[in-house]
Structure 1
């Protein structure tokens, strides 16, 4: 069946190891636009963390799946966007998680994301590293007060620390909480989102948004958090740089992220170029 929607991971997929965009992707997206095939970005990043990339690729008119699908937005601009889907963390569970972090793991850096806003308690070494990577500036705030007394949606918590500390935190929380999902995005980065959030769910919801069947979708990714969407899509495409455990869930494997693997797959399977 013809591909009518493409959902793609960012890091290690459309970006090479030097964080450069697949050099043929912009031209591919122009051709996809002519065919009415939306190219949708999906990442653990915040809306602001995806803005520059979306601008460069000229996909601001398409939905963008932020926080791995906890927040799907459209018409993303500097200070505004339209919310299509929003899956928030349970506030009571977040309060309990936060209290346990302060009691048992006070050395862990806690980052709270609400919509496009990034909140931290202080600018520690981990926050500085994340700010350098994302080119964003967080707001210093009383996180407990935000969690307990405010009504803003909480889309994601990001916990950063030494690898052994984060491993311990992951095991501790996975055994105690049922309404939230806990997973590693890096060896020392732990993401917490609503349990219903995943790129798989984002794919289901976006297919429904466009009134398409899953067999008409194509996904591209390189890591284990991409496995559900690779397995579910009509055509799941793994990058050559993906681990073997990821590749086995994809129907095909394309070139690596350093060899324009995304544009190669789009040309071959969506645009049907020889």
Structure 2
């Protein structure tokens, strides 16, 4: 960690869970005030999360930044909602169709109890709303569409931005190991929970999203600020002009950051904005 002064920041990328949301999943009122200051200076504050667009939009609306892009599925899809409520993609990185088909077939053959959830754009698809999909729906307040995954994947225009595979911890750990040893050359597999395995294109990452959005906003990378609290935030924290870790982040994440701000329950993001974004 180094001593840093305020500088000309042109764009900010921030994680959601554990960062701008406290332990009660509430947004800090101080942050809402800081966002107003950013908007006056036309400095975009963009949310980046593994969440879907529909899962991120209510938070963006509460912050009154719904006109700015959303970096969804950890950057697999970056887009913004237009005045009609339609999600307009800006950058899109899809799981390769052949690998998606192979993955679904292998799970059905070897791990039939695993819940397969497919995210495309701002839609969530599954073949049936099982106990796992129902639990996820209760958490995210989203409703999956029930349909044949084989028929979806057979459609030439259909794009897969993310798989969410849910089961028992033993099932998901075994599936993760099997996928790592299989021939999925262009897909990335990572555990977001002990029993949640997520799959995206291997090029996806919040650091890639940071670079793409910096170019989109025509802001030099040196004038970007990234804030996060977990290991999947490390690449963007390391890539940004100023990388900020939350006090509630793991020690390794904090060690790699330029600055450690207060926790997500103690105005951490608002404090970082006051510290690093000049008037």
Q: TM-score range by the shorter chain?
A: over 0.9
Q: Per-residue deviation at 1:151?
A: 2.4
Q: Indicate the residue corresponding to 1:24 in structure 2.
A: 30
Q: Indicate the residue corresponding to 2:193 in structure 1.
A: 186
Q: Per-residue deviation at 1:159?
A: 0.5
Q: Indicate the residue corresponding to 2:88 in structure 1.
A: 82
Q: Indicate the residue corresponding to 2:248 in structure 1.
A: 241
How far apart, CA to CA, are the structure 2 residues paired with 1:132 and 1:78?
A: 26
2:259 to 249, 252, 260: 252
How far apart, CA to CA, are the structure 1 residues paired with 2:187 and 2:48?
A: 20
Q: How many residues of Structure 1 are paired with residues of Structure 2 in the alignment?
A: 272
Unaligned runs of 5+ in 2: 1-6
Q: Does 1:156 align with 2:162?
A: yes
How far apart, CA to CA, are the structure 1 residues paired with 2:257 and 2:215?
A: 22
SS in 2 for 1:15: coil
How far apart, CA to CA, are the structure 2 residues paired with 1:216 and 1:103?
A: 49
CA deviations on 1:167-201 (whole Å, 9 max, x unpaired) are: 22112112221101111122221111111110010
CA deviations on 1:111-138 (whole Å, 9 max, x unpaired) are: 0011011001111111111111111111
- Runs of 4+ in structure 1 off by over 2 angstroms are 75-79, 148-151
Q: Does 1:102 align with 2:118?
A: no
Q: RMSD between aligned alpha carbons?
A: 1.3
The 3 A distance-change label for structure 1 pair 91 and 117 is same
Q: Does 1:147 align with 2:150?
A: no
Asked if 2 retains the 8 angstrom alpha-carbon contact of 1:60 and 1:76, the reply is no
Question: Map of 1:114-263 to 2, 5 A cutoff?
Answer: 114-149=120-155, 151-176=157-182, 177-263=184-270
SS in 1 for 2:176: helix
Asked if 1 retains the 8 angstrom alpha-carbon contact of 2:87 and 2:121, the reply is no
SS in 2 for 1:60: coil
How far apart, CA to CA, are the structure 1 residues paired with 2:137 and 2:170?
A: 22
TM-score (norm 1): 0.96
SS in 1 for 2:39: helix
CA deviations on 1:136-178 (whole Å, 9 max, x unpaired) are: 1110111111112452111111011122221221121122211
How far apart, CA to CA, are the structure 2 residues paired with 1:253 and 1:168?
A: 36
Q: Per-residue deviation at 1:72?
A: 0.6
TM-score (norm 2): 0.94
SS in 2 for 1:17: coil
Asked if 2 retains the 8 angstrom alpha-carbon contact of 1:32 and 1:38, the reply is yes
Q: Which segment drifts farther, 79-88 or 153-162?
A: 79-88
Q: Indicate the residue corresponding to 1:72 in structure 2.
A: 78
